[in-house]
Amino acid sequence: MLSSTQARRQRTEEGAVAVLTVLLCLALFGIAAIVVDLGNAQMQRRIAQNAGDSAALAGGNAMFNSAAPYVPDLVNAETAAKDYALKNHGITAAEWSACVDPGALSTPSSTPCISFEVTPTIARVRVKIPTRDAGATFARIIGVNTLDVSAFARSTLNRDGKSLCGLCVVGTSMEHDMQNGKVTVNGADIHLNGDVEVGPNGLVATTGEIRVEGTADGSNYTPSPDEGALPIPDPLEDWFDKPDMTGLPLGTNPCAQGPGRYGDFNFPNSTCTLSPGLYVVTGKWDLAGLAGMVGNGVTLFFTCGTAPIPSACISPGEAGGWLNFAGNGVFNIVAPTTGDYAGMALWYDRLNNSPLDLNGNGSVTYTGTVYANSAELRFTGNACGTGALDALVIVRTVRLSGANPCLELNYNQAASTQLPPGRLHLDQ
């Protein structure tokens, strides 16, 4: 038998064990409650974060449109962000009204939780998803009654107007054969979709980088090319479709009649001075011998159809108007600096696959953008001239052939087409 002292000790120990068991059960239950409820809260936060990310991207994507590609539309951006938040997380108008964001950007919308920052170089959208209670179920036992869940995201658009490449060769699944020609670009990168080959006496050089989607054959590259780069789309896709030709007169002699709609024209054996404005060309403009062309504030647009009725070129490509400079004259076109076509010097319809020939031995200079998405830019013979293109050049392919052809390009961002805002990405 146990003595009374031993019995009391046993009962005390049993009571202590019971208390410890209860405490341990409560602790374990509390931990389990926290794990379950925090797991649920974490899942709800991921849903909120996904909603915030998609809303911020939607707002950035809707901030600019093709009708006014350089003017931010904050109302449209706010509407798009709210639409995505509603679809992905069911955020209501009442929740937006009650929402508060201590980290809001400088320009508010109708709710503090959607805000903007717009500068000459960037445009940002910040979206804070309104706070919700994820619902404390088991954690209430340990005194945790609410689990607040929210998220925020910020998207950024680059709007510095700068192209990623000064020479953008966008034709894919093809080889761009430079032969023994020389291509030099100052102030920007060179990007070539597809493959490229340079002959033993040729050169492809830039002060930036050379990026090639496929392979780069030959050894004369400065710097060494980055092969296997991601292909780039047409940098001006969806933004420069065709110009407004309303009220543009039908003409037969651009040297005498100025801006208008023209078909074939053989330029005289002298220098033609074009008046400022838009020239729509559906035929061949041929410059041979000492024929030359100069113009300040000029945009040349080459398209399909006829001069009386110009039309868009059709898919997958159609031969339209084109330029053939093959003589020893002067060719100097300077793009407008203001207006709808500011920075656009020579422009082919996006599906116009007629060539762009800059041959001969004359002086060839452009100031502005040379945009021929479906065309081959050709330099043959001794086509090097004495000038350089102060331009952004976007073409399907480049072909240099003959004794000493060259393309010298200085990327002049201020004088070229300013690219619409792009490179939308999340940075928070």
> Is residue 242 domain-shared with residue 220, that is, in the same domain?
yes
- pLDDT grade, residue 64 (50/70/90)? confident
Is 2 part of any domain?
A: no
Instruction: Examine the fold and report which residue of 130, 158, 186 is the final residue of a domain before the chain moves on.
Output: 158
Is 4 part of any domain?
A: no
pLDDT tens digits along 134-181:
665 655 555 555 667 788 999 999 888 888 899 999 999 899 999 888
Tell me the C-alpha distance between 37 and 34, whole Å: 5
- What average pLDDT does range 287-291 have in this prediction? 92
Residue 418 has pLDDT above 90, yes or no: no
Least confident of 262-271, 279-288, 413-422: 413-422
Q: What's this model's pTM, rounded to 2 decimal places? A: 0.75
pLDDT of residue 217: 95
> Is residue 261 domain-shared with residue 316, that is, in the same domain?
yes
- What average pLDDT does range 103-127 have in this prediction? 93
Three-state secondary structure of the chain: CCCHHHHHHHHHHHHHHHHHHHHHHHHHHHHHHHHHHHHHHHHHHHHHHHHHHHHHHHHHHHCCECCECCCCCHHHHHHHHHHHHHHHHCCCHHHHHHCCCCCCCCEECCCCCEEEEECCCEEEEEEEEEEEECCCCHHHHHCCCCCEEEEEEEEEEECCCCCCCCEEECCCCCEEEEECCEEEEECCCEEECCEEEECCCCEEEECCCEEECCCEECCCEECCCEECCCCCCCCCCCCCCCCCCCCCCECCCHHHHCCEEECCEECCCCEEEECCEEEEECCEEEECCCCEEEEECEEEEECEECCCCEECCCCCCECCCEEEECCCCEEEEECCCCCCCCCEEEEECCCECCCEEECCCCEEEEECEEEEEEEEEEEECCCCCCCCEECCEEEEEEEEECCCCEEEEECCHHHCCCCCCEEEEECC
> Is residue 257 domain-shared with residue 350, that is, in the same domain?
yes
Instruction: Examine the fold and report which residue of 94, 124, 158 is the final residue of a domain before the chain moves on.
Output: 158
Which residue range forms the structural domain that includes residue 125?
16-158
Is 8 part of any domain?
A: no
> Is residue 311 domain-shared with residue 415, that is, in the same domain?
yes
pLDDT of residue 346: 95
> Is residue 142 domain-shared with residue 217, that is, in the same domain?
no
What percent of the chain clears pLDDT 70, i.e. is strictly above it? 84
Is 1 part of any domain?
A: no
Average pLDDT, the chain: 87
> Is residue 143 domain-shared with residue 192, that is, in the same domain?
no
> Is residue 183 domain-shared with residue 148, that is, in the same domain?
no
User: Which range scores top for mean pLDDT: 269-278, 332-341, 419-428?
Assistant: 269-278
- What average pLDDT does range 292-308 have in this prediction? 97
Residue 12 has pLDDT above 90, yes or no: no
> Is residue 202 domain-shared with residue 114, that is, in the same domain?
no
- pLDDT grade, residue 8 (50/70/90)? low
- pLDDT grade, residue 414 (50/70/90)? confident
- pLDDT grade, residue 235 (50/70/90)? confident
Apex 84 CA angle, 83 and 87, nearest 5: 90
> Is residue 152 domain-shared with residue 274, that is, in the same domain?
no
Residue 397 has pLDDT above 80, yes or no: yes
Is 6 part of any domain?
A: no
> Is residue 116 domain-shared with residue 239, that is, in the same domain?
no
Give the total number of structural domains in the chain: 2
> Is residue 39 domain-shared with residue 140, that is, in the same domain?
yes
Is 248 part of any domain?
A: yes
Instruction: Examine the fold and report which residue of 158, 184, 213 is the final residue of a domain before the chain moves on.
Output: 158
pLDDT of residue 386: 47
> Is residue 150 domain-shared with residue 175, that is, in the same domain?
no
Is 3 part of any domain?
A: no
Residue 323 has pLDDT above 60, yes or no: yes
Select the more confidently predicted residue: 167 or 388: 167
